[in-house]
Structure 1
Amino acid sequence: MEAQKSLKVECLTEDEAINLFKKKVGETTLNSHSDIPQLAEIAAKECQGLPLAIVTIGRAMADKKTPQEWERAIQMLRTYPSKFSGMGDHVFPVLKFSYDNLTNDTIKTCFLHLAIFPEDHQILNQDLIFLWIGEGFLDGFASIDEAFNQGHHIIEHLKTVCLFENDGFDRVKMHDVIRDMALWLASEYRGNKNIILVEEVDTLEVYQVSKWKEAHRLYLSTSLEELTIPLSFPNLLTLIVGNEDLETFPSGFFHFMPVIKVLDLSNTGITKLPAGIGKLVTLQYLNFSNTDLRELSVELATLKRLRYLILDGSLEIISKEVISHLSMLRVFSTIFKYLLSKRNYISSSTEEEKEEANYSRKDDKAIYLHEDNKALLEELEGLEHINWVSLPIIGALSFQKLLNSQKLLNAMRDLELWNLEGMSILQLPRIKHLRSLTVYRCGELQDIKVNLENERGRRGFVANSMPNSIFYNLHGVHVNQLPKLLDLTWLIYIPSLERLIVHGCESMEEVIGDASGVPENLGIFSRLEDLRLYLLPNLRSISRQALPFPSLKTLCVMECPNLRKLPLDSNSARNSLKTIEGTPEWWQGLRWEDETIELTFTPYNK
């Protein structure tokens, strides 16, 4: 329609939704029993602010005059929404218009897939895209990078047409009513009732377990401890377990899954490989991230078709030659969990570090990830199809092994550098696909440099084909416990940096030092959204000059007592800033160029 401006029509607030719902129910019904007004509020909340659902359900409840009728209706709305009057023949068909107008079957399949998760479930964009890749939805691309980019494109498109919702930093979820519609589309509308099953009940009945035989995709968050029924999953392609308290599986649980491709046990309480997992010979995607799994035993070596192995968490030991036997492996990720934990930004000592120091078991048939892990790099280098690696590099010898392998450098996506003993200057090599970099506990490190040999003479990344820069894909940098590091001036050459965390660098006085020799149009921190500074006792400056920060959303400063001035002016972070976090004492001690700038940013202080 060539409109000059598009406005997103948000869902109603809770009060607005309740008022509209009660209006459609009518005063006669609301006054027919003293319990009904409260039940009406409960029913209205089930609509999650969606006007179409509020109007439809409100009208359907207008002739229900007893609390029992209302309670039964609310239960049906929660359990079988498609059976509720007006939903399957009015609400869902209207919402289906957005689905029908999606441009291709791949986007439609990716949309329906998110419905496997329970109501209000939020998921990281990266985790969702990896699941789509593991499912084979994005197989039509020449490289995993192209598939990953397409995954991001699909997420953005589904948010644009309001089928997905943005839910925090790099997370999405599905509106409850949209999810109900997706389940209706995936199962009942197509006549395949149990293709997607979501089991969240406390106690499983025999009839529920019998449905698992028909399921293609199953999400389980229920307890399995008392399950004694013989299990069979002849059609199961995907199993996602969402019970964080689940530590073990019933005997034989994995014995009959003849066609399973995707197994996601992330965020569960498991501490060792489940018995029988080696029988899943058709498995292509396996996720143990954010668990307490400590050891990867030889049983995993039987999974010859495995392509995607995600182990981000507490893994410490991998039996030798397990990885080398996974000949089809394309993606290997084992980022340490506790570096991702917020509590490590405000503490210099962690329980995990103490556990690491006390860990005494040794086995010459195992690789210890907290030590020199050159052997793991050698096994990964020998895999023909590997093209995505995320892992910690421990020690100078392992780092040198990485530098000597162009194959591993090309595959590296998330890199953690630990304990680079004896190294005062870190010269970063060209790592074309690197997305995140962590440098941790390098006691002698004073400076970090990048190789600008191919960048000389350029007028600025933005103006001159930024994708060709040496770190174009680098979005996140985290430096932690580097007591002698002086600054991070090298970051001015990172054009796509979105998140920066600096923690425990006692010698640092400036984040960005002397940048007088760089081009004016370099766009320093032009895409930075999240800047967090912790435990920097001598920090006095983030930048010597005010920066526009056109994308900055969050600035967090904790225990930086000498940082008295922020690199902000009246034009900084316009239309982007959400919050500035810091103690009241720190905020009150800040110095500003003028009162207008202080008044501009005071509302953002939290």
Structure 2
Amino acid sequence: MADMLANLAKERLWEPYRGLEKKIVNLKGKMELLGSRKVDIVATIEDAEFHSSKKRKTEVQTWLCNVNNKLEDFQSLEKDVQECGRFDRIKLANFADTMIEEAEELIKQGKFPEGVLHNIYEEKGEPLVTTNFKGQVFRQNSENISEILRNDEVSIIGIYGMGGVGKTTMAMNIHNELLQESRFSGHIYWVTVSQDSSIQKLQNGIAENVGLDLSCVNDEIKRAAKLFQALKRMNTFVLILDDVWSNFDVKKVGIPLGNDGGKMIITSRSLEVCRRVGCQKNVKVNPLSNVEAWDLFTEKLGHGNNNDVQVIPIEIEKIAMKVAERCAGLPLGIITMAGCMKGVNDIFEWKDVLQELEESSMMQDDMKSEVFPILHCSYTRLRDPRLQKCFLYCCLYPEDFEIPRVELVNKFIMEGYINARNSRQAQIDQGHAILNKLENVCLLESTEDVDENKCVKMHDLIREMAIKITSHPHHDRFMVKAGMQLRKMPELSEWSEDLDKVSLMRNCIDQISPCELYKCLKLTTLLLQKNRLLRGIPYSFFMFKPSLRVLDLSYTNIENLPDSLSTLENLNALMLKGCGELSFVPSLSNLKVLRELELTGTGIKQVPVGIPNLVKLKCLTMSGLKKLRSEPPIDMFASLSHLQLLMTPFSIRAMDLERMKQLEEFGGKMFSLSDFNNFVANRECYGQPIFFRVTLNGLTSDCVGDLYEYPVIFSSKEVILKDYCLKGGNVVQPLREQSEAVINIPRDMQRLEVSWCDFISSDNSFLNALPSLINLTDLKIVKIVSCDGIECILRLPSNCQELIVPEGLGSLLKSLENLELYNLKDIVNLIDIQPNTEASLTALSHGFFTNMKKLRIEHCCQIKVLFPPWLWKNLHHLEHVVVSYCEGIEEIISENEEEEVDQEASSQYLSSPSSLFASTDVILPKLRVVHLTELPTLKSIYKGRMTCVSLEEIGLCGCPKLERLPFFHPLRDGEPLLIPHALRSIYVSRELWESLEWDYPQAKSMLPTEFHT
């Protein structure tokens, strides 16, 4: 047996070496297919966007980007194959296998069962989160603007007033009100313009809102034509441009107004700007009256008219009213000052803040003169220098930018703003606490970006105030030119020697002149990230910057870093994430105090020299190194005992991890099974690391291994097993000892991925081959890929009375939320039992899969029935079902006519009485998505009726024998059809749609259907 396994493992090892050319030919064919599919989709999209009311879906744009990246990777792979040596061939063959799988997945995704386009008319904007002022002035202005919008002769309206008076808030409320009006069909679009705007940037902002892609169109006139056509097709729309600083030509931008299209509202601090843009009506936003200002002040202070709130003591109220008066009726100042004083009940503090306001002597100039003293007073009231530093740091980001909280907290840690604590998590907690305090005093706003990540944002006036503070001689000096579309570096004269921080992030800088020395002896922070045109840095640039502590070059296209980087001996953080063209990093040996090093996603061909010398390193991330030629020495991590976060694609020894007593997050590969077991044992003894993603690869010691995995930093506990033979809880180790050894599984593991493993167990079930999983209570996700010998996930024997269920198994199968099965040629059932009625009820009582949310099964050809009749009753949390390329499947849910359904259990899922449902109804109240693809023998989803009130998408592709859809029916005779209100689309071939049998034929004409060819 041992010899057989050894020979099998050797075949697996050397097969990639011998078959590389064949794999490249195979891969090339798939890449050509991908490229052709891309051309077809782009042609379809461009035609639809120009000639119809359609736009591309977000997932389609993501797919196109992924295809472009994959085509580039293939070109690099072809070049590497021509230059590779013996063991490089093994590495490249493994990479080719990975790319083949990824290409196949992209080809499958490229079919887009839900279609590639959205109808613009069907999409409505989302309400904006804003303050709803109740004052008379605010109400009168809003009514005035609403009246003007009803005037067909007026197409451009201007809202103007001094900074902080509430123009943006008023426009936001108008936006939300217009969304409810049918005359504009929900086509209300909000674009923040800001001070550094241009015609091209304005076009991009509008295009993004209406779903038009202008990324491939550089000519301004052509861009305007595309935008004009996209807007004109809507017939009616309202475009709101907030914070306009300079005039622009509406026609050059491509905005159809009046008879040609819709209406436009702009907000600006300048009446002159409104007039030059062409506003036919202008509404001035005046400050609040004293009464309205006091009402707003007390509301934000937490002492409003609500009877439950505490009344302001009379002696404080008089002073507070004077403080409110000093805010000059400006809502921004009122809200900020009230936030600053919220919870303060000491009369001496109120007297002190009033004195500060009266003595404020900041620079006075036109529109800013009233509000700046108020904002500055709120800043000084922070008192804590650490809070002040963190607040000022936020102004380094572009105007109106939504700054991810996670990124900002990490920057605070790099800058040394967070107190040294026992753990990185404690520092992160403190960073979020600081942001919360700044939000609570209204100096930052809480928001979310398009990916729903929690962010903070600075009001543009507050940002201006912060930048002004940093220009004062008694403060750390900042140079802030972020997001200003700069083409070149600031003039040499602007690089004063006393600069502390320079932010040039998110510009278009393409080069740094070697003749400019940028002499900044006190510079501690330099932010150049997201300058995607930047390709090189001259040697001289890092000269005369001896104090530099934070250098961020992430997501630039720099190809090499100069050797002068090694002179930055005070560097604390070096961020190179996403520098895909960066092939070389000079020696880091001299950077003795470096604490943060991020190499993730770079194009380096070898690990930088000197990493073992970075003994103070706290965070090291170096995943996604696709162009790396070889692994570093196995002892590279031996001296890095202070690491708190480590993400690496390389193998690491348990003894090195044991030295890292502060390690909290780890992602990487274990050198051997014994190292993995030691890692697990050490964690259970000492509790480190808290989060992990550990890969155990059976072939690690004999080949370079998978250097192309790109694990992200996340808060989870994962184990990945590859290329092992699993036998009853033991592992047969290929190419090493050819013997069996116990595998230890972390008790708190949340995700398990098993791929390319052979399973040997007495009953051919997954769980019996890995019995150590049975007592896990936190396991949420299981993914199994290309494993032989698995006939089912669980097999339960039964006697005449009941099922025999191992102790602890119920807890495991209750905790499981996601189950993904790919290419399991032997699997027949999920849970294999042959019980009588009593045994079936016993299984139900164990609650198997009661928390299951997502089930995905692909290329499992022997499964005939997905869910047995007793199992669906436990699936009341099921949301996604995706079944693809399973040639043998005939039924999704089987029906046992003799089985009685527990009406009481069913009725708890819906508010309707249980008597409304037939005894054979399947009730899945949270099911949202059903995708069934390439199932040639599928005849039935369910032979009875299914009640799925949350259903959103149904995708049917390659299911020629499917007879009916069981989802659409009346609750009872004579009632209207029950069609889920959230249902967006049924994507199906016309041929299948016409062949379906309908219990209620009227359903066919009522359902939203998209046909594919």
TM-score range, shorter chain: 0.5 to 0.7
Q: Who is 2:478 aligned against?
A: 195
Q: Which has the larger radius of gyration?
A: 2
Q: Specify the alignment match of 1:259 in structure 2.
A: 547
Q: 1:84 deviation in Å?
A: 12
Could you tell me how far apart the structure 1 residues matched to 2:671 and 2:890 are?
A: 33
* Correspondence 1:405-484 to 2 at 5 A: 405-406=682-683, 410-411=688-689, 413-417=691-695, 419=697, 420-424=722-726, 429-430=745-746, 439=753, 441-444=755-758, 447=766, 451=772, 479=783, 481-484=785-788
Matched, 1:334 2:622: yes
Q: Quote the Cα distance in structure 2 between the aligned partners of 1:578 and 1:239.
A: 50
Deviation (angstroms), 1:410: 1.4
State whether residues 486 and 510 of structure 1, in contact with CA within 8 Å, keep that contact through their aligned partners in structure 2. yes
Quote the residue 2:517 is aligned against: 230
CA shift for structure 1 position 260: 2.5
Question: Which whole-Å CA distance do the structure 2 matches of 1:301 and 1:438 have between them?
Answer: 38
Instruction: State TM-score, norm by structure 2.
Output: 0.41
Go from structure 1 to structure 2 and tell me whether the alpha carbon gap of 1:64 and 1:295 turns closer, same or farther (over 3 Å shift). Answer: closer
CA gap of 1:107–1:454, structure 2 versus 1, over 3 A, is: farther
Q: Pairwise mapping of residues 554-565 of structure 1 onto structure 2 (< 5 A)?
A: 555=880, 557=882, 559=884
Q: Is 2:576–2:598's contact at 8 Å kept on the other side of the alignment?
A: yes
The CA deviation at 1:65 is 7.5
Partner AA of 2:419 in structure 1: D
8 Å Cα contact 1:139-1:147 kept in structure 2? yes
Alpha-carbon spacing, 1:245–1:548, altered in 2? closer, same or farther (3 Å): farther
What count of residue pairs does the alignment treat as equivalent?
Answer: 529
Q: Which residue of 2 aligns with 1:524?
A: 851
Deviation at 1:173, TM superposition (A): 4.2
Give, in angstroms, the shift of residue 99 of structure 1.
Answer: 7.3
TM-score by length of 1: 0.63
* Cα separation, 1, equivalents of 2:617 and 2:813: 30
Change (3 A) 1:277 1:389: farther
The residue that corresponds to 1:76 in the other structure is none
Residue 136 of structure 1, aligned match among 401, 416, 431: 416
How far off is 1:417 after superposition? 1.7
Partner of 1:67: 276
Instruction: Please say if residues 203 and 223 of structure 1, whose CA atoms lie closer than 8 Å, have aligned partners that are also in contact.
Output: yes
* Distance 1:111-1:365 versus aligned 2 partners, 3 A rule: same
- The residue correspondences of 1:41-190 to structure 2 (distance < 5 A) are 45-46=192-193, 58=267, 60-63=269-272, 67=276, 88-89=368-369, 109-119=389-399, 121=401, 125-152=405-432, 163-169=445-451, 171-175=453-457, 178-189=458-469
Tell me, yes or no, if the aligned pair for 2:830 and 2:866 is still in contact at 8 Å: yes
SS in 1 for 2:724: coil
| Pair 1:302-2:590 in alignment | yes
Per the TM alignment, residue 591 of structure 1 is displaced from its structure 2 partner at its CA by 5.4
| Residues 332 and 388 in structure 1, CA contact (< 8 A), matched pair in contact too | no
Letter in 1 for 2:924: D
Counterpart-to-counterpart distance in 2, 1:586 and 1:103: 67
Show the 5 A alignment for 1:347-386.
373-375=650-652, 379=656, 381-383=658-660, 385-386=662-663
Letter in 1 for 2:544: F
Shift of 1:202: 0.6
How far has the Cα of 1:310 moved from its partner?
A: 2.9
Paired residues of 1:186 and 1:196 also in contact (CA < 8 A): no
Deviation at 1:89, TM superposition (A): 3.9
Residue aligned with 1:252, SS: helix
Q: Does the 8 Å contact 1:442/1:482 carry over to 2?
A: yes
Q: Please name the residue that 1:602 is paired with.
A: 983
Q: Deviations over 1:551-602 (max 9, x none)?
A: x7xx5848466698699733668xxx99966646499979556647761552
2:495 partner SS: helix
Q: What is the rounded CA distance, in whole Å, between the counterparts of 2:636 and 2:531 in structure 1? A: 29
Once the two structures are TM-superposed, the CA of residue 243 in structure 1 deviates from its matched residue by 1.6
Query: Which position in structure 2 is the counterpart of 1:3?
Result: none
CA, structure 1 residues 189+129, in 2 after alignment: closer, same or farther (shift >3 Å)? Answer: closer
**Residue 390 of structure 1 aligns to a residue in which SS?**
strand
In the alignment, the residues of structure 2 paired with residue 307 and residue 416 of structure 1 have an alpha-carbon distance, to the nearest angstrom, of: 23
Q: 1:389 aligns with which of 651, 660, 666?
A: 666
Specify every segment of 5 or more residues in structure 2 that has no aligned partner in the other structure, as ranges. Answer: 1-126, 133-140, 161-170, 172-188, 195-204, 206-238, 246-265, 280-361, 638-645, 698-721, 730-742, 760-764, 795-808, 834-841, 894-921, 929-948, 971-977, 988-1013
Provide the C-alpha distance between the structure 2 equivalents of 1:541 and 1:495, rounded to a whole number of angstroms: 18
- Contact kept in structure 2, 1:268 and 1:291, CA below 8 Å: yes
Q: Name the SS of the counterpart of 1:129 in structure 2.
A: helix
**SS of residue matched to 1:281:** coil
Compute the displacement of 1:144 (Å): 1.3
Conserved 8 A contact 1:570-1:600 = no
Partner SS for 1:424: strand
- Do 1:52 and 1:91's aligned partners in 2 also have CA atoms closer than 8 Å? no
User: Secondary structure, in 3 states, of the residue corresponding to 1:165?
Assistant: strand
Give the letter for the 1:570 counterpart: P
Identical positions, percent = 15
Amino acid aligned to 1:430: P
Query: Secondary structure of 1:302's match?
Result: coil
**Amino acid in the other structure paired with 1:197:** V
Structure 1 pair 232–305 and aligned structure 2 pair: CA distance change class (3 A) = same
Alpha-carbon separation, structure 1, partners of 2:521 and 2:130? 43
CA offset digits 1:334-385 (Å, max 9, x no partner): 3337xxxxxxxxxxxxxx6xx78xx5x6887997999994456655554565
In structure 2, distance between residues paired with 1:138 and 1:314: 28
Q: Confirm whether residue 279 of structure 1 aligns to residue 561 of structure 2.
A: no
**Aligned position for 1:10:** 130
| In 2, Cα distance between equivalents of 1:524 and 1:317 | 45
- Residue pair 2:192, 2:243 contacting (<8 A) in 1 also: no
The equivalent of 1:73 in structure 2 is none
- Rounded Cα–Cα distance in structure 1 between residues aligned with 2:544 and 2:672: 43
Q: Residue 447 and residue 150 in structure 1: after superposition, are their counterparts in 2 closer, same or farther (change >3 A)?
A: farther
SS of the aligned residue for 2:597 comes to: strand
Q: Contact 1:392/1:418 (CA < 8 Å) preserved in 2?
A: yes
Tell me the amino acid that sits aligned with residue 480 of structure 2: L
Query: Could you report, residue by residue, the CA deviation over 1:388-423 in whole angstroms, capped at 9, with x for unpaired residues?
Result: 433344775764564465499812634142643223
Letter in 1 for 2:525: T
Instruction: Look up the match of 1:15.
Output: none
Alignment CA distance shift 1:482-1:117 (3 Å): farther
Give how far 1:211 is off.
4.8
After superposition, what is the alpha-carbon deviation per residue over 1:472-526, rounded to whole angstroms, capped at 9, x for unaligned? xx8xx5847444577889997599999x69474545778899995897699836x
Q: CA RMSD in A?
A: 6.1
Alpha-carbon deviation of 1:227? 5.1
Note closer, same or farther for the CA distance 1:408–1:111 as it changes in structure 2 (3 Å cut).
Answer: farther
Letter in 1 for 2:925: S
